[in-house]
Amino acid sequence: MKANQIEGVILDWAGTAVDFGCFAPVHVFIDIFQKVGIDVTMEEARAPMGMLKIDHIRAMLSMPRISTLWEERIGRAFNEQDVENLYGEFEPALLSSLKEYTDPLPGVVETVEALRKQGLKIGSTTGYTQSMMDIVVPYARNKGYQPDYYITPDGTSSFGRPYPYMIYRNMEELKLTAPWKVVKVGDTTSDIKEGVNAGAWSVGVIIGSSEMGLSYDEFHGLSDEEKATIISKTEKRFIDNGANYTIYSIEELPQLIEKINRVLEEGKRPGS
Active site residues: 12, 53
- Of 42, 23, 20, 24, give the one whose Cα is nearest residue 33: 42
Helix/strand/coil for 183: strand
Annotated binding-site residue? 148: no
Residue-level length of the chain: 272
Burial class of residue 64 (count of CB atoms within 10 Å of its CB; 0-12, 13-18, 19+): exposed
- Of 252, 241, 256, give the one whose Cα is nearest residue 188: 241
Single-letter amino acid, residue 103: D
Annotated binding-site residue? 103: no
Beta bridge partners of 185: 11, 203
The strand order across the sheet containing 182-186 reads 121-124, 8-11, 182-186, 201-205, 245-247
Annotated binding-site residue? 12: yes
Return the H-helix or E-strand segment holding 245.
strand 245-247
The binding site for Mg(2+) comprises 12, 14, 187
